[in-house]
Structure 1
Amino acid sequence: MTADSSKPALGVTDVGHAYGARRALDGVSFDVPVGGFTVLLGLNGAGKSTLFALITRLYDAREGRIEVFGHDVARLPGEALRRLGVVFQQRTVDLDLSVMQNLTYHAALHGIAGAEGRRRAALMLEWFDLSDRHKDKVRNLSGGQMRRVEIARALLHRPNLLLLDEATVGLDIRSRADIIGHVRRLVSEEGIGVLWATHLIEEVEMQDRVVILHQGRILAEGPVAEVVSQHGGRDIRSAFAALTGADRPRAASEAAA
């Protein structure tokens, strides 16, 4: 899908959200550039999943503005969401369908039916090294393979922006590296913009942009080297600790926002 490269892939401006009296997000603003890998880094409970729910319109954004390639998700949701692929933290694949069925049914929801849907699904399975598992029920896959199916599914309609919320939670080290490698390859080879939400500092690389979200507020944003330099850290881990007052990331078992 063609997108206007003169505009950010994602623009978030002064976004706020509350659950009753509790402010989950407060004046959040940042951009995700076209064809770049941006890490939304924050401890569990920082507000990352709430922000994803607002971007994808699971919740209405009543404070601020969210745009996907210049299209306001509140006023032009169809135009905005058409350019967006999403992988949520909780798995959403149907365990009792085959890998191919999961992909072709999702393609049909985007109006890509019949031979074209099967063709795109086959291409995605080849890209993610899953062609030999196309007939298998999803429940028979490993956790890492399920994640690859979800990412493949999110790309069927050829979005220009991919959002992934804690995509490696619960995976072993090898599976985590495999998933991150596939997504980074999408950025470098396909020019897709990526917003990768995580609480794991080791998933951040020096060439990335980073947005540090803490208790619903943005504490820093920019290239990793710039954020580290501005906040007196030796590396992104020490800069993150200095900004948030955290000696170390919380365990993955803590409840996510």
Structure 2
Amino acid sequence: MNVLEVENLGFAYGDRQALRDVNFSAAAGRFTALLGPNGAGKSTLIALLTKLYELQQGEIRVASFSLRSEPREALRRLGVVFQQSTLDLDLSVEQNLRYHAALHGMPRFLANERIEQELQRQQLVERRKSRVRELNGGHRRRVEIARALLHKPGLLLLDEASVGLDPASRQALNAHVRSLCRSTGMSVLWTTHLLDEVQAEDDLLILNRGVLVAQGRADSISAADGNLERAFTRLTAASAA
């Protein structure tokens, strides 16, 4: 079963085409990496998936619900961590989570249960009363993940979530999201421009200049070139030519 289906997706900013006829699917319970250089169109794609931008061309379905005709049902199945943090820095970790739960209309007893569960899962119990501005970058990202998972989405989208983190924190965050994917059966779409955030067993999409130039398992895409770095260089160079 596919948790996400994208068909014939196109988007333009005026006369500049940002995405061109993009087609792919993301399987349930899988970690899918969306890899591309800066300016490839990854953030535009995330903006369309989350309905920050209206669809111009094509179709997006989340858990079989059309984002065009059934947006409320489609968006209920998504959890999102954007590249730019949207946490309130002056609220505590727990207050940020409670505010999000209220936006989703959760009754208090359910919000209490979900917040406790996510604080435990993200290893934030001891920081629940800390103001967000007191946390380091890695812990802030964990708060954002906790917030995104409160309503138990089937698909978690992370748009360049490791930007601004030091290498150790980047690796820890990537490993943490993968462990959530394995332990919960949740699907993940992780966008990045960093090759070391992709593993051989990942489902991989490579986007360049708005064109999807490769899709499949990362080790299969890499096979002809010997490693992912050489494959990525060849595929993006060919697209740019």
Q: TM-score range by the shorter chain?
A: over 0.9
What amino acid does structure 1 have at the position aligned with 2:215?
E
Instruction: Report SS of the residue matched to 1:9.
Output: strand
TM-score normalised according to structure 1 size = 0.91
In structure 2, C-alpha distance between the alignment counterparts of 1:227 and 1:68, rounded to whole Å = 26
Q: Aligned match of 2:209 in 215, 225, 228?
A: 215
Instruction: Report SS of the residue matched to 2:72.
Output: helix
Matches within 5 A, 1:1-257: 6=1, 8-229=2-223, 232-245=224-237
- Of residues 96-105 and 107-116 in structure 1, the stretch that sits farther from structure 2 once superposed is 107-116
What is the Cα deviation at residue 181 of structure 1?
1.3
What is the Cα deviation at residue 245 of structure 1?
2.0
Instruction: Report SS of the residue matched to 1:245.
Output: helix
Instruction: Report SS of the residue matched to 2:73.
Output: helix
* Cα RMSD (Å): 1.0
What is the Cα deviation at residue 227 of structure 1?
1.0
Note the residue ranges of structure 2 that are not aligned, 5 or more in a row: none
In structure 1, C-alpha distance between the alignment counterparts of 2:200 and 2:48, rounded to whole Å = 28
What is the Cα deviation at residue 228 of structure 1?
1.5
TM-score normalised according to structure 2 size = 0.97
What is the Cα deviation at residue 16 of structure 1?
0.3
% identical equivalent positions: 51
- Of residues 107-116 and 202-211 in structure 1, the stretch that sits farther from structure 2 once superposed is 107-116
Note the residue ranges of structure 1 that are not aligned, 5 or more in a row: 1-5, 247-257
Superimposed CA distance per residue, residues 50-74 of structure 1 (whole angstroms, 9 cap, x where no aligned partner): 0000011111112000000111101
In structure 2, C-alpha distance between the alignment counterparts of 1:217 and 1:244, rounded to whole Å = 10
In structure 1, C-alpha distance between the alignment counterparts of 2:228 and 2:203, rounded to whole Å = 11
Q: Which has the higher helix share?
A: 2
Runs of 4+ in 1 over 6 A off after TM superposition: none
Instruction: Report SS of the residue matched to 2:69.
Output: coil
Superimposed CA distance per residue, residues 10-47 of structure 1 (whole angstroms, 9 cap, x where no aligned partner): 11111000000100000011111000000000001000
In structure 2, C-alpha distance between the alignment counterparts of 1:197 and 1:9, rounded to whole Å = 17
What count of residue pairs does the alignment treat as equivalent?
238
